[in-house]
Amino acid sequence: MAYATEADLTEYLDGDPMPSHPQRLLNQASDDIDELLIGAVYPVDADGVPTGADHIDALMQVCVLQVLFLAPDPDGQKRQYSSMSTSNVSWTRATDASGSPITPEFSARAYKMLRLAGLMNFVTVGRG
């Protein structure tokens, strides 16, 4: 189940071009969100669908933001490059301690929105 629809994406884009394969991107973004929310505690119905209007709206917006993050490179193929140049501009990807490129898989803005919406509350279970 996608947290946003193509209509939601169209509305957010406000006339900007729609990315290729929007439904695939919406589904992929929703899967990314589900992975981030494993163990999160918030009200849901019997099917696991959020019940709070604020949470539903936040998940829709987060899904749209994640789609826009994924759209230029939906399969992560370009993330393998650590440097890129075009004309007189050059970019180099940040690296971790081992020298491997840091490749974010989730939009920082979308992650922040999840936190601000109260959706990143987790329960820790102790060992007994």
Q: For 3-15, write each residue's pLDDT tens digit.
A: 999 999 999 999 9
Cα 27 from Cα 44, distance rounded (Å): 20
How does residue 105 score in pLDDT terms, banded at 50, 70 and 90?
confident
Residue-wise pLDDT tens digits, 49-91:
899 999 999 999 999 999 999 988 655 555 555 566 677 777 6
Question: Is 41 within 8 Å of 83 (Cβ atoms)?
Answer: no
Q: Give the pLDDT score at 83.
A: 62
* 3, 27 Cβ separation under 8 angstroms: no
**Residue 40's pLDDT band (cuts 50, 70, 90):** confident
Instruction: Write the DSSP assignment of 47-95 as a string of letters.
Output: TS-B--HHHHHHHHHHHHHHHHHHTTSTT-GGGG-SEEEETTEEEE--B
Give the Cα separation of 42 and 87 in Å (integer). 48
Of 44-48, 71-75, 95-99, the range with the highest mean pLDDT is 44-48
